[in-house]
Structures are given as C-alpha cells and as structure tokens.
Amino acid sequence: MKKILFLTLISVFCSSIVLAQPKLTIIGGDTYDWKEVKVSQSPLKAEVQLKNEGNELLKIEEVRPGCGCTTAPLDKNELQPGEVATLSITFNIGSYTGSVSKSILIRSNDPQKPRRYFEIRANVIREIVFKPAPYMPFRDLKVGEESTSTIYIKNNSKTNIKFSNLTVEPKDTHLRLNIDSTTEIVLKPGEEFELTGRLTPRSAGYQNIKVVLYSTHPDFPTITIPAYGTAAASPYFQNEPTK
C-alpha cells in the first residue's frame, strides 16, 4: 500500500513538472499579410502580440528578422503567465515589386516550440516600372568613346501618366538622351517608352550622373534615374582635367 502511494506521489510530482512550463502563442497566427500595397506606403508597419499561455515565466531570448529591410523590436522579453508583449514590425518595401515575404525568428524558453518563425507578406504594386532596372549603367567606358545604356519606363497604373522636363545633372556632362527636355510623353495604362543615353566621357574615372524627369503620378512627381560608369583612359584622346 505504501509502495502504491509512493508511486502515485511520484507520478503526480512528475506530471506537475511537465505541466509547469511557459507557452508562447502568437495572437492572430504565424503570418501577417498587408496584401496589395503601393511603394509610397513604405515602410509598412504592424504590431503583433505575443502571449505567455503557460504557467511559468516565458523568456523571449531572441527576435531576429531575416533581412535588413525589416526591424522588429520587442517591448519586453520576459512574460509572466497570461502576460502579453508587443512586437513592432517595420518593413521597408522600397526596392521590391510583386509578391514578397520575409521571416522573423523568435527564440524562447518554450520547451515545446523553442524556435518559431513569423512570416510577413505583401504584394507590392509599382505603378511606374523601370525595366530592366531603375538606373542606367554604362559599361566598358573609355575616354572619347561613346557608350550606350537603355531602360524602358512603363505605366503600370490604371490611368494615363504624362512625363516631361527631362534633364541631365550635372548639365555639363557629355550624356545625350534620345528624348529632349521639351518633349512630353503620355503613356496609357500598360504602355511604355524607351529611354536611351549615349555617354562620351571626357575624363577618366567614375562618372556620376542623374537623369531627372517629372510625372503627373501623385506618388512620383519627380523621378531621378542614376546613370553611372567608370571610364578608362584612352591613348587616342586627351583627357580633360578632373573637376
């Protein structure tokens, strides 16, 4: 009889140890989805609550976003049973187009799930699209020799967009464009136009140029397109002094 009582007490004691543990719950689930967003809404923000649904102290040991475009500070790292902490998420979508997802690692002393991954998602709608990229690289530049670079600008919105006042900075650069500053271009939804630059460097070294144009899109009134490259000296042309 004593032996049975002893075994019963041991069983109850072990059960209490198993039941006495912290438990991390992410309120709302393991995913936050902003759905369709515009680039002008960047950075995206959200607050997610973490709750200790166990009966022992929960210690959140680490919160680590998967990339530098995301930050996720936590207002407190230790939660008593029933207590809630807030994870303040900021997601910079400036360089993304289309569907994008990132993960945030959450490590805690929850014995059942010590590592949790929280996923953030968005579908970034970019209403002015630059193809293949929003910059104009000039490769294999040589002093006195012409090099070209081409991009395409597309209206990805649902209304007409007018582009105008195309300029080059600095003004004394030797970059010529296929469109002059007085030309106005109106793109209907889905249409695009070609922008080609022809650069003839007059001095060796890094060429740092900006192509600036204006649009009637409210989110992109001024558009700046970097144009760049490194020019090598040429035995056939005399380099201009570097300014």
Residue 41 lies in a domain: yes
Q: Which distant-in-sequence residues (6+ apart) come within 8 Å of 7 by Cβ?
A: none
Residue 75 CA to residue 31 CA, distance in Å, equals: 20
Which of 75, 100, 125 marks a domain boundary? 125
- pLDDT for res 71: 96
Residue 37 CA to residue 93 CA, distance in Å, equals: 9
Asked if 32 and 101 sit in the same domain, the reply is yes
Residue 62 lies in a domain: yes
DSSP, res 111: S
For the chain, what is the domain count?
2
**Three-state DSSP string of 53-91:** CCCCCEEEEEEEECCCCEECCECCCEECCCCEEEEEEEE
Asked if 136 and 224 sit in the same domain, the reply is yes
Residue 219 lies in a domain: yes
Collapse the DSSP code of 159 into the 3-class scheme (helix H, G, I; strand E, B; otherwise coil) and give the result: coil
What is the extent of the structural domain holding 121? 26-125
The CATH number assigned to the domain holding 99 equals 2.60.40.10
Which of 125, 147, 181 marks a domain boundary? 125
Asked if 78 and 144 sit in the same domain, the reply is no
Asked if 207 and 113 sit in the same domain, the reply is no
Residue 4 lies in a domain: no
pLDDT tens per residue, the chain (243 residues)?
Answer: 555 544 444 554 454 445 789 999 999 999 999 999 998 899 999 999 999 999 999 999 999 999 999 999 999 999 999 999 999 999 999 878 899 999 999 999 999 999 999 999 999 999 999 999 999 999 999 999 999 999 999 999 999 999 999 999 998 888 999 999 999 999 999 999 999 999 999 999 999 999 999 999 998 999 999 999 999 987 666 655 544
Asked if 79 and 143 sit in the same domain, the reply is no
Residue 243 lies in a domain: no
Token pair 């991009």: residue: 151
Residue 154 lies in a domain: yes
Asked if 55 and 147 sit in the same domain, the reply is no
Asked if 177 and 108 sit in the same domain, the reply is no
Asked if 177 and 121 sit in the same domain, the reply is no
pTM of the model: 0.69
**Three-state DSSP string of 131-158:** ECCCCEECCCEECCCCEEEEEEEEECCC
Token pair 């929280």: residue: 118
Asked if 104 and 139 sit in the same domain, the reply is no
**Of 203, 227, 232, nearest in space to 141 by CA:** 232
Asked if 140 and 213 sit in the same domain, the reply is yes
Residue 17 lies in a domain: no
Asked if 120 and 141 sit in the same domain, the reply is no
Which of 125, 153, 188 marks a domain boundary? 125
Residue 83 lies in a domain: yes
- pLDDT for res 2: 53
Asked if 94 and 146 sit in the same domain, the reply is no
